[in-house]
Chains A and B, each alone.
Chain A
Amino acid sequence: MSLLVIDPASPTPPFEQLRAQLLAQMQAGELAAGARLPTVRQLASDLGLAPGTIARAYKELEAAGAIETRGRAGTVVAWSADAGERRVQQLASQLADAAREHGVPATRVRALLDAALGA
């Protein structure tokens, strides 16, 4: 049984508390791929938050490939063990496209990537 706990007194914004908890539960397998999440309005009412707060958390999770919206089925968990790698692969190909478009050499891209990774 996966529960979400939102502390309104916490310095962490509610959308971030929600995003982090949902992601942690997906990674722990408590929320399996395909599980339906509550609607934005439903979760906002249950947690006493503004719908925009829930929508922001969902949007960030969707951008990270952890959840997806499937029409009538609503918002479902899309996270799987290789979801992170697939996301990095997708971003890497976007990075390669951007580098080609702006004429940045591959050696420089690798150096920038190493710096970003702290290597």
Chain B
Amino acid sequence: MDPFLIGLLCLYVAAALGIAIWSLSIRGTRAAQRASRQAGLALPEEPLRGTLVRRLLHTLRWSNCCAAVGALLGVAACLVVIDSELPMPENNGVIWLAFAGFVLGGSAGAVLAVLTARTPDATGRPRIARAARRELGDYLDPFELNGARVMAVLGAIVGGATLAWPSEYIGIPPAVTTLLAATGVIAWAILELGGRYVVLARPRIVESEAELAWDDAFRAADLRRLVTAVLLSTTYAVAFGGFPLVFTALRMFVPDEVVMVSVNVSFYAAMAVLITIVVIATRRDPAHHYLRRLWPTVEAQRQAAAQAAAARYAADAAARNAARKASR
């Protein structure tokens, strides 16, 4: 067994367990401040803050501990694959199985966190609810949601095709590609079913607009965790399975030299496409899609505050520069 691969797997297990231990030991206030920055919402006063912190820690712990369990199962799958003596030109590629286990475990943990959460009892004060039905599109940017759907279908096609028509050219064992694709499809099922019927359907009695906005923030974060699991696991399946599949087919019609050139050109083209997609996705700011959709006034205030902070920072920097020049 490749010592480098064993080292990678050990490092991987340590990292997954480290994340789980970190989530069990993190202080609520720090986690809440982090969540506040990510959600784009100000932290409310007590007693709502305490409720939010408890809910946040509950989700974080379930999600990270399940991710660690998923990672361990993924590592076990890696060891089984390595032990099976399948032909592996690049056996280090199996490490992605462990990573797929991590993201799938995290997404299952997010759904379990919702199922095990206790809904606080109503206090008798006026209660607030949204008049329109909650939809996945309210919480997930269409770029992410549709991207996950397309990738899941693509992953399933590639996984099935790889298993039916194993490539002899490059890549990892077909069984690994199929396992990665299967992970992606399971993650997709968790997103469509768990997201719709657990995360969105979760009842929550809220008594203020701030509480409702935070409830939306939690739902959006949970759903984005599910989408990430789909995108990551299917991307690996498509990358590891799709390329060998296409090039095995190409090899039947064109000489090996041309195939090699095509492999290199396609790799760089795929990297360019991937980087472009990541840039577009980042620029769309999907983490705050729910604010734009459900809380447009809060989003406008957040944008104004961010612009004011940027202007203040620029003015301070200019003043510092001017003072430095003057002191010279």
- On whether the two chains bind one another, the answer is yes
Interface of B (DSSP majority class): loop
Q: Does B212 contact A (CB under 8 A)?
A: yes
Known: A1-B296, A5-B128, A6-B127. A39 touches B205 (CB 8 A): no
Number of A residues with CB within 8 Å of any CB on chain B: 26
> Which one of B29-37, B130-138, B314-322 is at the A interface?
B130-138
CB neighbours (8 Å) of A39 from chain B are 133
**Bound: A118/B124 CA distance, A:** 41
CB neighbours (8 Å) of B134 from chain A are 38, 42
Beyond contacts A2-B132, A5-B127, A8-B124: 18 other A-B pairs, Cβ-Cβ < 8 A, are A1-B130, A1-B294, A2-B130, A3-B128, A4-B128, A4-B129, A8-B126, A36-B132, A37-B131, A37-B133, A38-B129, A38-B134, A46-B129, A46-B130, A46-B205, A46-B206, A47-B127, A48-B127
Contact B127 A38 (CB under 8 A): no
**Bound: A59/B132 CA distance, A:** 17
Q: For chain B residues 195-243, which have a beta carbon within 8 Å of chain A?
A: 201, 203-206, 209, 212
28 A-B pairs with CB atoms under 8 Å apart are A1-B130, A1-B296, A2-B130, A3-B128, A3-B129, A4-B131, A5-B128, A6-B127, A8-B122, A8-B124, A8-B127, A31-B131, A36-B132, A37-B131, A37-B133, A38-B129, A38-B134, A42-B133, A42-B201, A42-B203, A43-B129, A45-B204, A46-B129, A46-B130, A47-B127, A47-B129, A48-B122, A48-B127
Contact B133 A3 (CB under 8 A): no
Using CB atoms, name the residue of chain A closest to B201.
A42
CB neighbours (8 Å) of B201 from chain A are 42
CB distance from A51 to the nearest CB of B (A): 12
User: Which 7 pairs of residues, A with B, have the shortest CB-CB distance?
Assistant: A45-B203, A46-B129, A2-B131, A7-B126, A36-B133, A48-B122, A48-B205
Q: For chain B residues 167-202, which have a beta carbon within 8 Å of chain A?
A: 201
